Amino acid sequence: MSAPVDLQAIFIPNDGEFFRVKLALEIAIDEVVAEPGCIRYELTEAREDKLVLTEQWASQAHLDTHSKGSAVQDLHESLSALLAEPIKLEQL
Residue 27: CATH number of its domain: 3.30.70.100
What residue numbers bound the domain in which 67 lies?
Answer: 5-91
Residue 85 has pLDDT above 80, yes or no: yes
The per-residue pLDDT for 9 is 97
The per-residue pLDDT for 1 is 61
The per-residue pLDDT for 2 is 78
CA 30 – CA 27 distance, rounded (Å):
5
Tens of pLDDT, residues 2-60: 799 999 999 999 999 999 999 999 999 999 999 999 999 999 999 999 999 999 999 99
Residue 66 has pLDDT above 90, yes or no: yes
Whole-angstrom CA distances from 43 to 2, 26, 74 are: 25, 8, 17
- How many domains, in total, are found in the chain? 1
